[in-house]
């Protein structure tokens, strides 16, 4: 799992998926009001919990960077 979740292409794909889940008003997190709220709500996503449990801090920072960038685009709409 660590190798899979650490692959650069997968990091971008999963980051987009997490952003989509947050913006699609996932039933277990609710629709966020802003980026900061979305990042807080992200902690309740099962996918995020799985990623956090399987990657090191460097990869986790990469995820956060891409998630933030994808969310930024969503909130600009």
Model pLDDT, residue 52: 97
Question: Confidence band (pLDDT; 50, 70, 90) for 2?
Answer: very high
pLDDT in tens, 39-59: 999 999 999 999 999 999 999
- Report residue 76 as tokens: 């600009």
For 5-22, what is the mean pLDDT?
96
Closest CA to 36 of 13, 11, 64, 61: 64
User: What pTM was computed for the model?
Assistant: 0.91
């Amino acid at each position: 799992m660590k190798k899979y979740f650490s692959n650069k292409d997968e990091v971008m794909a999963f980051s987009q998926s997490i952003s989509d889940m947050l913006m699609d008003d996932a039933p277990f997190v609710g629709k966020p009001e802003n980026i900061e709220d979305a990042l807080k709500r992200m902690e309740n996503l099962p996918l995020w919990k799985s990623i956090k449990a399987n990657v090191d801090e460097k990869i986790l920072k990469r995820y956060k960077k891409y998630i933030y960038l994808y969310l930024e685009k969503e909130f600009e709409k």
